[in-house]
């Protein structure tokens, strides 16, 4: 397994470098002048030009990227132009928020989507199947920002069950943390729940029609064991694939969701950095996201071998 992990890391390293260079280059091409964030709008052209030379903003993009990557591999992500806070410290406080939000969304997709898909497959062509299919299609079509607004209006403004926004670390106040994270995790996870539900239904229908399922039933195996031990186990690979492929979409949804619910995560840090032309946090945040998605894809490959021993790494 370690050999497979090392080989995958070697294959994915060029992808990470290419992606980081593209992101770095595109951010530098954004309109606006980053020196304004440091000197203010009243600074003269001479002062801005001097600072641009001092910060290396006038150098070619490949040279700037090489200089940035040289510091990045040592853990030095630079400082925020707006707050002068080390970007490494910003990442240390914001990564746990986005990670918690993403993991909760995945957990909800498994807890809600998989049983819903199984029920739809077992009740094929009934009203239960039609309702679940309708809900899954609606979930995939619902935009993140609209889902967040609807949840705030229902659970905060009308029912008053949950606070509308904010964040408290889990170990500081677990109960309040859960209350604050329910609506954001639902907002991010609604589309993944719908996709997992549809994929589970499709996979279960395909597996339930196989010969070994009919053989198990003919031998007198209980219905519950047939569904969960034989059918679901063999239908999990497409479900895991959907979850792994949707991690990038979850992160993009987290960017919107963290802004709506005022969560101090990576997504909100990136949005604020783009608006303020504070490029160091944006570049570091996107690099962390790219590496995270690559690691999830590697973990998905390893999961295949765990679920089906016929698959060799």
The pLDDT, as a whole number, for residue 276 is 76
Q: How many C-beta atoms surround the C-beta of residue 113 within 10 A?
A: 27
Q: What is the DSSP string of 156-204?
A: IIIS--S-SS----TTT-HHHHHHHHHHHHHHHHHHHHHHHHHHHHHHH
Contacts of 197 (CB under 8 A, 6+ apart): 112, 113, 114, 116, 117, 120, 132, 135, 136, 139
| Residue 159: DSSP 8-state | S
Domains of the chain, first to last: 14-72 (no CATH), 95-307 (1.10.3720.10)
Question: Which residue would you say has higher pLDDT here, 7 or 281?
Answer: 281
Q: Confirm if 166 and 262 have CB atoms less than 8 A apart.
A: yes
Q: How many C-beta atoms surround the C-beta of residue 9 within 10 A?
A: 13
Q: Confirm if 76 and 88 have CB atoms less than 8 A apart.
A: yes
Structure tokens at 125: 């062509």
Q: How far is CA 151 from CA 12, 181, 190, 244, in A?
A: 38, 12, 11, 26
Nearest in space to 104 (alpha carbons), one of 221, 194, 192: 192
pLDDT at 255 over 60: yes
User: Across residues 299-303, what is the average pLDDT?
Assistant: 77
pLDDT at 221 over 70: yes
pLDDT at 313 over 60: no
Q: What integer best gives the mean pLDDT of the chain?
A: 81
Question: Residue 115 belongs to what H/E stretch?
Answer: helix 114-122
- Per-residue pLDDT band for 1 (boundaries 50, 70, 90) equals low
Q: Confirm if 98 and 251 have CB atoms less than 8 A apart.
A: yes
Per-residue pLDDT tens over the stretch 241-251 = 888 888 777 87
The pLDDT, as a whole number, for residue 41 is 65
The pLDDT, as a whole number, for residue 235 is 82
Per-residue pLDDT tens over the stretch 159-215 = 888 888 888 888 888 888 888 889 999 888 888 898 899 888 888 888 888 887 788
pTM strictly above 0.75: yes
Nearest in space to 199 (alpha carbons), one of 238, 168, 227: 238
Question: Which residue would you say has higher pLDDT here, 105 or 2?
Answer: 105
Quickly tell me which residue has 């490029």 as its tokens: 279
Question: Which residue would you say has higher pLDDT here, 278 or 263?
Answer: 263
The pLDDT, as a whole number, for residue 290 is 82
Nearest in space to 168 (alpha carbons), one of 179, 184, 160: 179
User: Across residues 49-71, what is the average pLDDT?
Assistant: 75
Structure tokens at 27: 């951010």
């Amino acid at each position: 397994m370690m050999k497979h992990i090392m080989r995958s890391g070697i294959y994915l390293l060029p992808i990470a470098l290419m992606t980081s260079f593209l992101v770095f280059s595109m951010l530098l091409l954004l309109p606006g002048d980053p020196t304004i964030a440091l000197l203010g709008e009243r600074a003269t052209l001479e002062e801005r030009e001097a600072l641009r030379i001092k910060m290396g903003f006038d150098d070619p993009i490949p040279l700037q990227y090489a200089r940035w990557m040289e510091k990045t591999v040592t853990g030095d992500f630079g400082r925020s132009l707006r707050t002068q806070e080390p970007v490494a410290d910003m990442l240390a406080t914001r990564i746990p928020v986005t990670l918690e939000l993403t993991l909760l969304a995945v957990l909800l997709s498994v807890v809600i989507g998989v049983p819903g898909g199984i029920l739809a497959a077992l009740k094929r062509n009934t009203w239960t199947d039609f309702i679940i299919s309708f809900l899954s299609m609606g979930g995939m079509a619902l935009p993140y920002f609209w889902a967040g607004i609807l949840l705030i209006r229902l659970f905060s403004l009308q029912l008053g069950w949950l606070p509308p926004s904010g964040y408290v670390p889990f170990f500081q106040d677990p109960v309040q943390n859960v209350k604050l994270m329910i609506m954001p995790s639902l907002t991010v996870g609604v589309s993944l729940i719908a996709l997992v539900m549809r994929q589970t239904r499709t996979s279960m229908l395909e597996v339930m029609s196989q010969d070994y399922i009919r053989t198990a039933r003919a031998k007198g195996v209980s219905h519950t064991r047939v569904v969960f031990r034989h059918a679901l186990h063999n239908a999990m690979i497409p479900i895991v694939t959907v979850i792994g492929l949707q991690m990038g979409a979850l992160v993009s949804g987290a960017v919107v969701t963290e802004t709506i619910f005022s969560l101090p995560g990576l997504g909100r840090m990136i949005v604020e950095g783009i608006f303020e032309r504070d490029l160091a946090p944006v570049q570091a945040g996107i690099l962390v996201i790219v590496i995270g998605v690559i690691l999830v894809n590697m973990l998905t490959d390893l999961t295949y071998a765990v679920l089906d021993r016929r698959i060799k790494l």
